[in-house]
Amino acid sequence: MHAEAAKEPDQPPTAGGGVGRRGLLAGGAVAAAGLGAGAAALALGGGSARGDGSGRAAPPPSEPSIVPFHGERQAGVIAPQQPATQLLALDLAPAATSDGRAALRALLGELTRVLAAAAGAGVADPRLRDGRPAGFNSVLGVGPGLAARLGLNVPAGLLTELPAFPGDRLDPARGGGDLVVQLCASDRWPLSVAAEQAVAAARTAGATVRWTQSGFLPRTAGGATPRNLFGFKDGTANPVEPEAGQWVWGPPGPHEHGTVLVYRRIRMDTAAFAALPGDRQEQVMGRRLGDGAPLTGTAEHDEPDIYTKNPDGSYVLPATAHVRLSSPRLDGGARMLRRGYSYDDGPDDRGLLFCAFVRDPAQFTRVQNRLAARDSLNAFIEHTASAVAYVLPGVPAGGTLGEGLFG
């Protein structure tokens, strides 16, 4: 197992870090997704730029509040992105199918209890009681290996691992896993406490910790898109309804309020990238460093136009630019909900925890095949770990995550 030295992201709580204009619109889907007013308020709260031309001072960002744990969809996919994350992956002990299913049921019950309590929906650890609400939210998913072993009811695309991609340098000890848990909050404290409890529950059920990984975001005014370690705004072009219903969430049926998490730990050579002239960096990405606007537009949320040409016939968005190759226009309109985090595991191992939510892992595979073949970013990045998990539908109060797995 790879555990990491505890690091404090040194960030006071901010509300809604990482919720861009489109994200705010997506936040509007929070209520529709079965979450309460608290999360909706969180989604819409905060913001330092008034943007209404009134010249009045913007209200200060609001504090994170309690994000309801219960709802049709797990809060960790739909709540405004919080600045700190902790991922952990668990492996269940090999067992005969019936014993394995019983062990999984018991563990899912315990994890539901731990995660609900950490979110404030139950009697919490005293270490979580004194502080201010930290916007704690979580995601719990089931990996393909476990689903296949125990015959679980997961989407068909989740019964196999992701394929290998050119350039992958994956460390199996840092990826995969029978269960993947993502914890998010305004700071590391509640993550550490909740992770401790989740691990204790897992060990009681005979499971082991396969890997853990922490990540963070820069302090960002509410509503602004956070930057990655290359300095670019990351998370701008995320789907909103109705696109999210088509590309992020399952189709009507047992998986309707479930989704699939694709996790990639990607090392970034930030020094080499920083050594490029600014205009070259923008050509690599296809967006402007300052405001995040596509090279074909003037504002951050303008849609990148992959067809516009320069007078000399070359594309304005270069043929190998990251946003050209990841464009939904090359993929029948398919979009993924990206909620990435940066990580820092030492001077030579820093980068991006790419976390995307998709209906079908094939969406990721198609884009990653294009990126692996041609992306200009490849000279500066290396994929070092990978995991995929079926993110279970949410539960009403009193329910247990994953009840539909055994149908």
Residues noted as catalytic: 234
Would you count residue 184 as binding ligand HEM (CB under 6 A)?
no
User: Which one of 178, 187, 234, 345 is in contact with ligand HEM (CB under 6 A)?
Assistant: 234
Would you count residue 81 as binding ligand HEM (CB under 6 A)?
no
Contact 227, 218 (CB under 8 A): yes
**DSSP per position, 327-384:** -GGGTTT---EE--EEEESSTT-EEEEEEEEESSHHHHHHHHHHHHHH-GGGGGEEEE
Would you count residue 297 as binding ligand HEM (CB under 6 A)?
no
Burial class, 343, CB count within 10 angstroms (exposed 0-12 / middle 13-18 / buried 19+): buried
CA distance 131 to 193: 13
Binding piece for ligand HEM, criterion CB under 6 A, among 89-97, 129-137, 320-328, 387-395: 320-328
User: Which one of 128, 323, 387, 388 is in contact with ligand HEM (CB under 6 A)?
Assistant: 323
Contact set for ligand HEM, span 340-369 (CB under 6 A):
351-352, 354, 364, 367-368
Element (H, E) at 265: strand 259-268
Would you count residue 213 as binding ligand HEM (CB under 6 A)?
no
Binding piece for ligand HEM, criterion CB under 6 A, among 27-35, 167-175, 232-240, 388-396: 232-240
Specify the residue, 110 or 375, whose C-beta has the smaller distance to ligand HEM: 375
Q: Where in 79-168 does DSSP place strands (E)?
A: 84-91, 137-142
User: Which one of 381, 388, 389, 401 is in contact with ligand HEM (CB under 6 A)?
Assistant: 381
Binding piece for ligand HEM, criterion CB under 6 A, among 33-41, 98-106, 140-148, 229-237: 229-237
Would you count residue 388 as binding ligand HEM (CB under 6 A)?
no
Instruction: Tell the smallest beta-carbon distance from residue 112 to ligand HEM (Å).
Output: 30
Please tell me the count of residues contacting ligand HEM according to CB under 6 A.
Answer: 29
Q: How far is CA 67 from the centre of its chain?
A: 16
Among the listed residues 173, 178, 138, 175, the one whose alpha carbon sits nearest the alpha carbon of residue 154: 178
Specify the residue, 62 or 270, whose C-beta has the smaller distance to ligand HEM: 270
CA distance 40 to 79: 8
All residues at 6 or more sequence positions from 194 whose CB lies less than 8 Å from its CB, including other chains: 86, 114, 115, 118, 128, 136, 138, 183
Would you count residue 315 as binding ligand HEM (CB under 6 A)?
no
